[in-house]
Amino acid sequence: MPLSIQAVVDALGAHAPHPFAVTLPDGARHACGHGAPAFTLHLRTEAAVLATLARGHIGLLEAYFDREVDVDGSFHAAMAVGLASDLSRGTNPLLGAENRLHELRHSNRDPAQAKANARFHYGLGEAFYRLWLDDPLKMYTCAYWREGTATLEEAQRNKIDHVIRKIRLGPGERYVDIGCGFGGFMFRAWETVGALGTGVNTTTEQVDWLRAEIARRGLADRLAVREADFRDVDGQYDKVVSIGVLEHAGRDQLAEVIRAHADFLKPGGLGMLHFIGHVGRYDTELFIRKHVFPGGWIPSLADVIVEMERCGLEVVDIENLRRHYAPTLDAWAERFERHWPQIQALDPQRFDERFRRIWRTYLVGCAEMFRAPTGYTHLWQIVFSKGNVTRDSYPMSRAHLYRDDAGDGGR
């Protein structure tokens, strides 16, 4: 086997947590690790080999999307090996240049481009997401797997109730849900504590569905949704909820989006930032930006806190829920695979085999990323206030977060 191909196999196997095998177009087979392989990676064409040599893990992944590479066995194990490998750790100047070019083409600086970026992912239709998210809330963010949680539905309700308690959301309070998705938080917050919500969402398809659902439930005098950019502030609210938005601010728009969060909040009010963030400053993975979330950028926790300080926001509490994201993604990936025939039937041209492979890689790969023992990508919840809290405005301990009754906002 040529030295260059051997180097690729060695790079994959250097830190591999599972044994595996690789087959080449000429039929040669090479094993890595001891014991039965957890998976076998089949490089079907010379083009796949060349793409991997030239572009590392991106070349290998895109060859898989193009059906020039196949994986037999555990896809979770394959993603875990890929994440741990030297193949994805190295700095490839071609990929760095491609990431910079992507930013020039897809920057969220322009609201129209930011909207197009959001619709690329979130505009796939309620029928698509309903098949694999929790039913009926359709929360598309990390769930909360408190001890004893058995289902994705329960875990997502747990997450919403956890946020309600953290910001002490109560009856009749007006809050804004920035990036409200299909309105799951809004519906549950009304049902459990009687809070009045306004959602802000830039994805037309989600806004249209949610408006119709609010009307169908007869809640138009209690809940509303605006089709607007996250930076478009329409007034001040008692509370701010932001679940899975900062990742979509963009590489250079973090300050703008956090400033908008502050401007949405009344003096003395409480808010919640729930977001994926890095420990340290790193480029966001090109695969995610190119194939899944164009314009997206994962900020560092430190940079987020600095911008919050500049906006006069007090950080009241920070919780790391990284360990909760792997089981959330596991559940999504399992449901996505199980319901793939129904997904494909929705639109066979859009939901083709290439789409399935990209989304399978995204869901399973992210699960293994959050599960990795040495990863630097985490899930943060930051409670913040506009101005400092007092003994009277916020509890002195976290005891209110863990009461069994979720229906009083933790009061």
Domain ranges of the chain: 3-90, 111-402
Q: What is the pLDDT of residue 140?
A: 98
CB 248 within 8 A of CB 293: yes
Q: What is the enclosing helix (H) or strand (E) of 241?
A: strand 237-243
Question: What is the CATH number assigned to the segment(s) 111-402?
Answer: 3.40.50.150
Q: What is the enclosing helix (H) or strand (E) of 72?
A: strand 69-73
Q: What is the pLDDT of residue 3?
A: 45
- What radius of gyration do the chain's Cα atoms show? 22
CB 42 within 8 A of CB 23: yes
pLDDT tens-digit readout, 301-310? 999 999 999 9
Q: What is the pLDDT of residue 306?
A: 97
| Strand 265-278 to 237-243 pairing | parallel
347: which 2 tokens?
């639109």
Q: What is the pLDDT of residue 97?
A: 87
pTM > 0.75: yes or no: yes
272: which 2 tokens?
């919640």
Q: What is the pLDDT of residue 244?
A: 96
Query: In the chain, which stretches have pLDDT less than 70?
Result: 1-4, 86-91, 404-411
Question: Domain 3-90, CATH 3.30.1050.10 — does that match?
Answer: yes
pLDDT tens-digit readout, 194-242? 999 999 999 999 999 999 999 999 999 999 999 999 999 999 999 999 9
Catalytic residues: 366
Distance (Å, whole) CA 17 – CA 158: 32
Distance between alpha carbon 31 and the CA centroid of its chain, in Å? 34
Distance (Å, whole) CA 127 – CA 379: 27
Residue 129: strand pairing partners: none
Q: What is the pLDDT of residue 93?
A: 78
